[in-house]
Amino acid sequence: MIGKLKGTIDSYGEDTVILDVHGVGYLVHCSSRTLQALPQPGEAATLFIETIVREDMIRLFGFASQGEQQWFNILLGVQGVGQKVALAILSTLKPGELANAIAMKDKAAIARTSGVGPKLAERICVELKDKAPAFSTVDSAVVKLTGEIEENRVAGPLKDAISALVNLGYAQPQAAAAVAAASKALGEGAEARALIRQGLREMAK
C-alpha cells in the first residue's frame, strides 16, 4: 500500500492532482483545502496517502496532514458517509473545527457541507461523539456541560441564559457552548443575567 508520496506537481483537476514521482504520474483525489495548500505545477510537494482498493479499481486519496487523513478514515466509519462526502466535509471544515463541531453537537456547522443534510450531520455527531473530544480543542468540562444542556438536563439560570441568547439570534449549539463556558468561568450558582453577559463575552472571543 502507498502511504506517502513525495514528488513534483504535474497538473490539477477539479478535485484531483497528478503528482509526478520519478516519472510516474499518480492521480490523487484531495479535498479542496488540501488542493489550495499545494504549490504551483512544477514545484515539489508531499502528500499523505490513503489507498482504497476495490475489485474494479485502486484509488489514491491525498492529504496535507496526517490529522486530515485520520479524520477521513474516521468519517468513512459513519453510515452514509462515502469517500466523496468525507472529502467534502474536510473541504468545509479543518480537522480541528470538525472535532469541535462534533464535540459541541454543532450539526449546523457540519451541514454546511454540500451533500450533507441535517439527518446525516446528526448521525455524524451521534456516532462520533466519543471520538471527537480526543481531537477537540474545547475544554472537556465545557463539552460535558454542553451535552447536558443539549439533552435538556439543565434548568434554572442555565436554561434561561441559553433561551436569552437564542432569542438574540444565536443558534442553539453556539448559545449552549457559550453558556457552558460562562458557567465554568463564573462557577455554580451564577445568575442568568451574569451568565448571559459572560456568554456574550465568550461569543466575542
Question: Which domains does the chain carry?
Answer: 4-63 (2.40.50.140), 67-134 (1.10.150.20), 140-204 (no CATH)
**CA separation for the pair 135, 143 (Å, rounded):** 12
Summarised one tens digit per residue, pLDDT across range 150-201 is 666 667 888 888 888 888 888 777 787 788 888 888 887 888 889 888 889 8
Q: What is the pLDDT of residue 152?
A: 67
**CA separation for the pair 85, 203 (Å, rounded):** 30
CB 183 within 8 A of CB 145: yes
Band of the pLDDT at 117, cuts 50, 70, 90? very high
Alpha helices by DSSP H, listed for 23-131, are 32-37, 66-76, 83-92, 95-103, 107-110, 118-127
Mean pLDDT lowest among 45-49, 101-105, 149-153: 149-153
Summarised one tens digit per residue, pLDDT across range 7-45 is 999 999 999 999 999 999 999 999 999 999 999 999 999
**CA separation for the pair 55, 85 (Å, rounded):** 21
Residue 130 burial (10 A CB sphere; 0-12, 13-18, 19+): exposed
Would the pLDDT of 66 be above 60?
yes
**CA separation for the pair 67, 65 (Å, rounded):** 5
Residue whose C-alpha cell is 509526478: 20
